[in-house]
Chain A
Amino acid sequence: MKQYSDLEFLRLSKWQKFVYRLVSFFCSIPRAIGRFFKNIGGYIKKAALAVVNELRDIGVTFVHGDWKTKVSYVVMGFGNMARGQVLRGLLFLIFEVVFIFYMITAGGHWMSMLPSLGKVGPTQEYDAILDTYTTVYNDNSFKILLYGVLTIFFIVAFIYTWRLNVKQNKLAEQFLKSGKKLKSDKDDLRSMVDEQFYKTLLALPLTGILVFTVLPIVFMILVAFTNYDGAHNGFSNNLFTWVGLDNFNTLFSWKSAGGGQSYSATFGEILAWTLIWAFLATFTNYFLGMFVAMMINKKGIHLKKMWRTILVMTVAIPQFISLLYVSKMFARNGLINLTLLDWGWIKQPLPFWEDATWARISVILINVWIGIPYLMLITTGILMNIPADLYESARIDGANAWQQYTKITLPYMLFITGPYLLTSFTGNMNNFNVIYLLTGGAPTNPAASGAAGSVGYTDLLITWLFKITTGAESQYYLASVVGIMVFVVVALISLVVYNVLPSIKNEEDFQ
């Protein structure tokens, strides 16, 4: 492609700049990948060097350290305590004791089972006293995987803490040698609400995220490489085990699935509709919301507050009520169809939710109904921030309303709301509520009958994922492959937009 110099680039129009950035981004991908592979040797070397440096530092500290430091290599926190930092030392020691206790009683067991995910499934054993067979549960694949992952987290944390312990000893020795005083326990406590206050503040939120988001996500990524499903729940019927890339092969295979179309065709269809939906849902809401905001903002329109309040009120009503109600209103025997039939306007009920095209258009229109008030709120504030003299001078130059909109309002809005549009696009891709509460994915797609989770024409990837995980034959492994694909798509889109839109890049610009 043609390379522009900086000066030439500045001379381009907005659209040309945009297209130029887009094209150059995609053109640079092969080179970036090539560079990555060329540098891979360098990365490995760097990482190896870092490890060697760490190890050498650990060794040197041991050799040159005094006896307090040396004991600390085995009894964590000993050096701290011996040098008067009782609190720090105690924390190190407690962590070490807990870790060793955990590894001996449970962790070692879970780790050793991780490669196989359990060997003995539930068995029937004869009970001589009751004269019946009872089920005895043995290994539990689910727990093995879960606690296996947890144990790995724990080991990493331990290694990090041990290294920290060694570093602190080294620092303390250096401090004492140069005649400075070490921080006392009181200083440590004070610093928890002062210099180190951020650690105190982040402790609770990050623990929550680690346990309830990071751990489950790691677990679910691993599930994509197992055969965990309703029939292999790892506990009461069959154990599950590692299957390598089989599940990815299933999703991307071209072979017909259960008499219907292939999995890859079904996946492709749902993905295409998900993207179309996200695009339409984002931009219809955006432009119509802006339009409504501009109407209310217009000079000479009275009762501004009332119009806004009417719309904002609908934000407050829980979505499940409004969506479920509207969904039933448009149903075959719902209010709209019955009324139109009564009036004799139609002979047959309109197929709002029975016909694929009708259903897709209906969800988009109803989503506009849901989304406009929110967009109206967001855009109102920004519209009022556009300097009025811009419009003034435009009017003097003879620009009409449409020109003012395309030359002033829209560029300004797009620049400010660029990040919002991106999050709103990815949010719409995962907009479970609107689709599930309105249609539940209906109407069913007969061609996809072979795929798991009764696929419908309005199903997004996220509602499909949900359907796969419910019901008797919940195919968790497939759901987790779909989930990983959702991540890949969202990440790709974000990466492209991030590189093409100028306004997202710099966090400090918005402060």
Chain B
Amino acid sequence: MKKNETAKRHMGLRALNRASNTAIYILLIIISIIWLIPFVFIVLQSFRVESTYQVGYVIPHQWGLQNYINLWNSDFKRWYLNTFIIALASAVLVTVIQLCMSYTLSRFRFKLRGPLMRFMLILGMFPGMLTMIILYRVLADLGLTQANAVPGLILVGCASSGMGYYVSKGFFDTIPKSLDEAARVDGATRLQVLYKIILPLAKPIVIYTILTAFMGPWGDYVFARYVAFGTSAGYNVAVGMYSWLTNDQIARMYTTFCAGGVIVAVPVTILFLCLQKYYVEGVTGGAVKG
């Protein structure tokens, strides 16, 4: 009798579990569709050649590469090159600066460490946009705006990147300090400890930093617009493509924007997916520890 009841309960539980799993699958499928659909739309519309403005259907009536040809003939090449140069330079400089900063704050205990970290915390509470006005004027005096915006953007983008040390410091904190101490006992200098012991162990966070530093400039809009103001040769992709969606341009350039979006997003996304493992490690390991 009793045996029978428990068996029934088990079956009930299993049915319930199956039902909830089905519900979850349905939800996940819906979520995946919602998350992917805009990107599918962008790709489809980039191949639409019968009209260049927004329409009420998704699948093109006529397929073609006209939008990509338009892209090739526009200033897009220059914008793309600009952004690529900025991204490469940031990937190097930001990584070096951030790793120096986070490694130091994680490993060394010096008198000004606490005050320094508090000071940077407070500095970070000021909206960064506030500094744009003056940085723009300074760059203008140095001749690094408009057509020469690229070096200016690299300089400003990398200079203060030390303030974003939190994620990688969180990672360095997880590497046991006893490793350092053992090497120091064996007579290694701090420099040797860093590049012989810590750096090989820190590969995930180095790759994470390079990846985020490389991806950042592709979406940088505000300051880039400020610095390149009105000179197409100094635009990055975000500023340039934003200008295509203004009210007087959108009817002519909408599908070209979609094509540009595909060209920008595809390489970055592929790179990201290849290095996804490190990104996830960095985000989950460092971001939370703060």
* B101 CB-CB contact with A under 8 Å: yes
Contacts of A124 in B (CB 8 A): none
If the complex has contacts A202-B104, A381-B285, are A209 and B54 also in contact, measured as CB distance less than 8 A?
A: no
Q: Are A208 and B219 in contact (CB under 8 A)?
A: no
User: What's the least CB distance linking A314 to chain B, in Å?
Assistant: 5
Q: How far is the CA of A511 from the CA of B105 in the complex (A)?
A: 13
* B228 CB-CB contact with A under 8 Å: no
Q: How far is the CA of A311 from the CA of B269 in the complex (A)?
A: 12
* A63 CB-CB contact with B under 8 Å: no
Q: How far is the CA of A194 from the CA of B101 in the complex (A)?
A: 16
Q: How far is the CA of A322 from the CA of B262 in the complex (A)?
A: 11
User: What's the least CB distance linking B209 to chain A, in Å?
Assistant: 13
Contacts of B272 in A (CB 8 A): 312-313, 315-316
Q: Are B138 and A146 in contact (CB under 8 A)?
A: yes
Q: Mark A308-337, 1 if CB is under 8 A from B, else 0.
A: 011111111111111011101101011101
Interface members, chain B 99-121 (any A CB < 8 Å): 100-101, 103-104, 107-108, 110, 120
Contacts of A487 in B (CB 8 A): 125-127
Contacts of A204 in B (CB 8 A): 96-97, 100
Contacts of B125 in A (CB 8 A): 426, 487, 490-491, 494
Q: Are B261 and A321 in contact (CB under 8 A)?
A: yes
Contacts of B128 in A (CB 8 A): 430
Q: How far is the CA of A10 from the CA of B65 in the complex (A)?
A: 70
* B137 CB-CB contact with A under 8 Å: yes
Q: How far is the CA of A342 from the CA of B57 in the complex (A)?
A: 9
Q: How far is the CA of A271 from the CA of B261 in the complex (A)?
A: 34
User: What's the least CB distance linking B6 to chain A, in Å?
Assistant: 15
Residue of B nearest to A342 (CB): B56
Q: Mark B49-92, 1 if CB is under 8 A from A, else 0.
A: 00000111110000000000000000000000000000000000
Interface members, chain A 179-219 (any B CB < 8 Å): 190, 193-195, 197-198, 201-202, 204-206, 208-209, 211-214, 216-217, 219
Residue of B nearest to A333 (CB): B54
* A107 CB-CB contact with B under 8 Å: no
Q: How far is the CA of A217 from the CA of B135 in the complex (A)?
A: 10
Contacts of B222 in A (CB 8 A): 432, 436, 466
Q: How far is the CA of A315 from the CA of B258 in the complex (A)?
A: 18
Q: Are A437 and B283 in contact (CB under 8 A)?
A: no
* B142 CB-CB contact with A under 8 Å: no
Q: Are A318 and B162 in contact (CB under 8 A)?
A: no
Contacts of A335 in B (CB 8 A): 41, 54-56, 58
User: What's the least CB distance linking A438 to chain B, in Å?
Assistant: 12
Q: How far is the CA of A465 from the CA of B265 in the complex (A)?
A: 30
User: What's the least CB distance linking A146 to chain B, in Å?
Assistant: 7
Q: Are A216 and B134 in contact (CB under 8 A)?
A: yes
User: What's the least CB distance linking B125 to chain A, in Å?
Assistant: 4
Q: Are A198 and B238 in contact (CB under 8 A)?
A: no
Q: Mark B34-48, 1 if CB is under 8 A from A, else 0.
A: 111011011000000
Q: How far is the CA of A211 from the CA of B242 in the complex (A)?
A: 30
Residue of A nearest to B266 (CB): A317
Q: How far is the CA of A205 from the CA of B164 in the complex (A)?
A: 11
User: What's the least CB distance linking A441 to chain B, in Å?
Assistant: 14
Residue of A nearest to B172 (CB): A511
* B160 CB-CB contact with A under 8 Å: yes
Q: How far is the CA of A194 from the CA of B128 in the complex (A)?
A: 35
* A394 CB-CB contact with B under 8 Å: no
- Out of B39, B254, B284, name the residue touching A314 (CB < 8 Å): B39
Give the number of residues in A that approach B within 8 Å (Cβ atoms).
95
If the complex has contacts A307-B32, A416-B288, are A202 and B100 also in contact, measured as CB distance less than 8 A?
A: yes
User: What's the least CB distance linking A448 to chain B, in Å?
Assistant: 20
Contacts of B160 in A (CB 8 A): 208-209, 212-213
Q: Mark B131-158, 1 if CB is under 8 A from A, else 0.
A: 1111101100000000000000001101
- Out of A300, A486, A510, name the residue touching B127 (CB < 8 Å): A486
Q: Are A211 and B159 in contact (CB under 8 A)?
A: yes
Interface members, chain B 169-228 (any A CB < 8 Å): 170, 173-174, 189-191, 194, 215, 218-219, 221-222
Q: Are B265 and A321 in contact (CB under 8 A)?
A: yes
Contacts of B31 in A (CB 8 A): 292, 311
Contacts of B11 in A (CB 8 A): none
* B129 CB-CB contact with A under 8 Å: yes
* B122 CB-CB contact with A under 8 Å: yes
Q: Are A318 and B219 in contact (CB under 8 A)?
A: yes
User: Which residue, of B34, B41, B130, B285, has the highest number of chain A Cβ atoms within 10 A?
Assistant: B130
Q: Point out residues on B near A: beta carbons under 8 Å.
A: 17, 21, 24-25, 27-28, 31-32, 34-36, 38-39, 41-42, 54-58, 96-98, 100-101, 103-104, 107-108, 110, 120, 122-123, 125-135, 137-138, 155-156, 158-163, 170, 173-174, 189-191, 194, 215, 218-219, 221-222, 237-238, 241-242, 245, 250, 254, 257-258, 261, 264-265, 268-269, 271-273, 276, 279-280, 283-285, 287-290
> Beyond the given A216-B134, A318-B268, A430-B127, could you list 14 further A-B residue pairs with CB under 8 A, ordered by the A residue number?
A198-B108, A201-B100, A201-B103, A201-B104, A204-B97, A217-B130, A301-B21, A320-B219, A321-B261, A377-B284, A423-B290, A432-B129, A483-B127, A486-B126
Name 11 A/B residue pairs within 8 A (Cβ), A-sorted: A204-B97, A209-B123, A298-B21, A298-B24, A313-B269, A315-B272, A316-B272, A325-B42, A469-B129, A486-B127, A487-B126
Across the A-B interface, the 3 shortest Cβ-Cβ residue pairs: A338-B56, A205-B162, A381-B284
